[in-house]
Structure 1
Amino acid sequence: MAKHIQILDGGMGRELSRNGAPFRQPEWSALALIEAPEYVRQAHDAFIAAGAQVISTNSYAVVPFHIGEARFENDGTALAQRAGTLARAAADASPYAVRVAGSLPPPLGSYRPDLFEPVQAGKVLRVLIDALSEHVDLWLAETQSSIAEVRLVAELLKDDPRPRWFSFTLDDALDAQGKARLRSGESITDAVLAAVELGAASVLFNCSPPEVMSAALLEAGAHSSLPLGIYANAFEPSDHKRGANVGISALRRDTQPDNYLRWAREWVDQGASIVGGCCGIGPEHIRALSTALAGSDFVPVAQDALHV
């Protein structure tokens, strides 16, 4: 392809579950980090083998919302450091250039902009940033439901010279005017302009249905020349309203690798230069993306090297 496409990894939690790692709510992907970290390394290796050029630390669930206040107080730093170490080791072991993104989640609950409180959230994020810092090449504030959330991340990162990627999660359906919106109700235009103001190196949209991504991408591209990215989830539409930590959502059947690649081609045609997957998107999806989109400068390893 004419432009360079960066390939992200996919959803860590579902890959851990599929491979037999300890996995349940509320701990989600943090449970393997606590009880069986070798599965986390295995998942990183599988995504890299599939062609991921950027992998995210398994720190998304290392927050009180998932592991509880007491465990976070006692073990949060050590668990985040473990997440960083595992991702760094996997990236460094690859024969290809793989970057590590420090995953900074919404610290007080995914999809819940109403729960955001900057002082409390800042305390959680400070632990993650300090623990991950020595291991990462860039910062990825992901599944951000509101502009206030990314403003806090930018404030905490301050003069950190590494690229900061801001990734917003979207309402599950377009509004009456056919526009995508953040889960807070804020507009894509306002979110993108805020990201630019806050020094974002890239703006992405994640953990939302594939169907709403194009509208967000087109609106974002009209207001910024920053690199744009998409990594959608594979949740069943009927399960989207559950919210995080309310059972384990079913996965839809129409997001198999070939179909997901069709959406990804559309996103690339509309301006995306960063593409990957979120919940339910596995190494087989990433292989399809990397093979079709990454270009001649990257050749993923053989199919039989994948851990499935």
Structure 2
Amino acid sequence: MAKITLLDGGLSRELERCGATLRQPEWSGLALMNEPEKVQQAHANFVAAGAQIVTTNSYAVVPFHLGQARFDQDGAMLAQRSGVLARAAAATGSDVRVAGCLPPVGGSYEPQNFDAADSQAVLSVLVDNLTPNVDLWLGETLSCIDEARAAARAVADTGLPLWISYTLRDELPDQLDSPVLRSGEGVADAVRAAIEAGAQAVLFNCSMPEAMQPAIEAALQVVREGGHDIPVGVYANAFTAEDDGAANEVLSGIRKDLDPEGYGTWVDRWLAAGATIIGGCCGIDAPHIAALKSHLDRQA
């Protein structure tokens, strides 16, 4: 079995388990502002569960969630804080890396909101203030190719590895033969663009488990055809299809079939398809990651 990298899970759900308050528009950014100790605890819970990478709580440190005035005033401080908290939690484990989260600046699942100038202005604040505490960059829940290219431009001068993670449309069975991003762009084109932009891994996240295997297969075909040596990964959400609204509008209920055992069944399919980076997104908490760690250890 190929060496597997185990990511953390969805931070919002784990923050809820830690007793943090989440509400819109700030969402997980509210805990970063008011309950930083719970943010660190959530990260530490994932480390204790076996995660080899924890991702900074900077997803909501954007004007879309904070508002422009608050971002201008506190964005740099909050980005720095998110890195410090993740690094402190990573230190409770052994060889745990910190990924600096680079979110879609215009909001989750909102590719039509992409603006190149706005994205660079916001991402530069995140990158400048996260850099001292991160080991790699993770552009995540990216709905279009332009968002991936923006992330690559933002980190070009940092010297740190970049991973790009796209979110997929959840319609099935249409996705089975031709998987697409939420923008409608094809997965193969998106993977090529990520590699051309310098990504050292390509992942898919914040989509239903059912949408993931076709995307893995399409990505690996591009990797093989191009003679590249980069891993492909998955961290799905535990929600029903989210194509009709932005993510994180409410703390959604999770699917009963995606308990730790049920989620592990999907992970086995992704591993068989060739994925070598595995974790969880919205609704996947520390108990899920602990179960995955045990499952993967048994297969090693």
Q: TM-score, normalised by structure 2?
A: 0.94
Which residue of the partner structure matches residue 115 of structure 2? 117
Distance of 1:201 and 1:79 partners within structure 2: 27
Distance of 1:247 and 1:52 partners within structure 2: 26
Q: Which deviations, in whole Å up to 9, do the C-alpha atoms of 1:104-134 show, x marking residues without a partner?
A: 0001111000000000111111100001000
Of 249-258 and 272-281, more deviation after overlay is shown by 249-258
How far has the Cα of 1:215 moved from its partner?
0.5
Checking the alignment, whether the CA contact within 8 Å between 1:173 and 1:180 is kept in structure 2 is no
Checking the alignment, whether the CA contact within 8 Å between 2:18 and 2:41 is kept in structure 1 is no
Checking the alignment, whether the CA contact within 8 Å between 2:142 and 2:165 is kept in structure 1 is yes
Distance of 1:245 and 1:142 partners within structure 2: 14
Distance of 2:6 and 2:278 partners within structure 1: 5
Q: After superposition, where does 1:187-226 map in structure 2 within 5 Å?
A: 187-224=186-223, 225-226=229-230
How far has the Cα of 1:288 moved from its partner?
1.3
Q: Which has the higher contact order (CA 8 A, sep 6+)?
A: 1
Checking the alignment, whether the CA contact within 8 Å between 1:5 and 1:295 is kept in structure 2 is no
Checking the alignment, whether the CA contact within 8 Å between 1:4 and 1:295 is kept in structure 2 is no
How far has the Cα of 1:241 moved from its partner?
2.0
Distance of 1:294 and 1:223 partners within structure 2: 30
Distance of 1:296 and 1:134 partners within structure 2: 36
Checking the alignment, whether the CA contact within 8 Å between 1:8 and 1:54 is kept in structure 2 is yes
Q: Which runs of 5+ in 2 are unaligned?
A: 224-228
**RMSD of equivalent CA atoms:** 1.5
Q: After superposition, where does 1:242-281 map in structure 2 within 5 Å?
A: 242-244=245-247, 246-281=249-284
| SS at structure 2 position matched to 1:236 | coil
Q: Which deviations, in whole Å up to 9, do the C-alpha atoms of 1:36-66 show, x marking residues without a partner?
A: 1000011011000000000000000111111
Matched, 1:100 2:93: no
Q: Report the number of matched residues.
A: 294
Checking the alignment, whether the CA contact within 8 Å between 1:5 and 1:294 is kept in structure 2 is no
Checking the alignment, whether the CA contact within 8 Å between 2:213 and 2:270 is kept in structure 1 is yes
The amino acid of 2:154's aligned partner reads L
How far has the Cα of 1:160 moved from its partner?
2.5
Distance of 1:245 and 1:66 partners within structure 2: 11
Identity of aligned residues (%): 52
How far has the Cα of 1:243 moved from its partner?
1.4
Checking the alignment, whether the CA contact within 8 Å between 2:109 and 2:245 is kept in structure 1 is no
Q: Which deviations, in whole Å up to 9, do the C-alpha atoms of 1:249-307 show, x marking residues without a partner?
A: 2321111000100100110111100000000000111011111225798xxxxxxxxxx
How far has the Cα of 1:19 moved from its partner?
2.3
Q: Which deviations, in whole Å up to 9, do the C-alpha atoms of 1:137-183 show, x marking residues without a partner?
A: 00000001011111111112123221100000000114276321001
Which residue of the partner structure matches residue 153 of structure 1? 151
Q: 1:283 to 1:197 in 2, by over 3 A?
A: same
How far has the Cα of 1:97 moved from its partner?
0.9
Checking the alignment, whether the CA contact within 8 Å between 1:171 and 1:208 is kept in structure 2 is yes
Distance of 2:82 and 2:61 partners within structure 1: 9
The amino acid of 2:116's aligned partner reads P
Q: Which runs of 5+ in 1 are unaligned?
A: 298-308
How far has the Cα of 1:245 moved from its partner?
5.1
Checking the alignment, whether the CA contact within 8 Å between 2:169 and 2:243 is kept in structure 1 is no
Of 15-24 and 40-49, more deviation after overlay is shown by 15-24
Distance of 1:44 and 1:165 partners within structure 2: 20
Which residue of the partner structure matches residue 136 of structure 1? 134
Distance of 2:193 and 2:108 partners within structure 1: 20
How far has the Cα of 1:246 moved from its partner?
3.2
Q: TM-score, normalised by structure 1?
A: 0.92
